[in-house]
Amino acid sequence: MSRDEQGGGFTLVVGRGLRNNMSGFVDDSDAYLDTMIKALAGGDAETLISAAHTLKGGAGNLGLWSLSRHCEQVLALARGDAGASARC
Q: For residue 68, what pLDDT is reported?
A: 95
Query: pTM of this prediction?
Result: 0.70
Q: How many domains does the chain have?
A: 1
Asked, for residue 13, whether it belongs to a domain, the answer is yes
Q: For residue 83, what pLDDT is reported?
A: 56
Among 69, 49, 51, CA closest to 59: 69
Asked, for residue 1, whether it belongs to a domain, the answer is no
Asked, for residue 61, whether it belongs to a domain, the answer is yes
Q: Distance between CA atoms of 67 and 48, rounded to whole angstroms? A: 15
Give the number of C-alpha atoms closer than 13 A to the C-alpha of residue 28, restricted to the C-beta side.
Answer: 14
Q: Is the pLDDT of residue 67 over 90?
A: yes
Mean pLDDT of the chain: 80
Q: For residue 62, what pLDDT is reported?
A: 86
Residue 63 belongs to domain spanning? 8-87
User: How open is the CA angle 45-74-38, to the nearest 5 degrees?
Assistant: 50
Grade residue 9 by pLDDT with cuts at 50, 70 and 90.
low
More reliable by pLDDT, 49 or 4: 49
- Per residue in 16-59, pLDDT (tens digit) is 666 776 777 888 899 999 999 999 999 999 999 999 999 999 99
Asked, for residue 79, whether it belongs to a domain, the answer is yes
Asked, for residue 3, whether it belongs to a domain, the answer is no
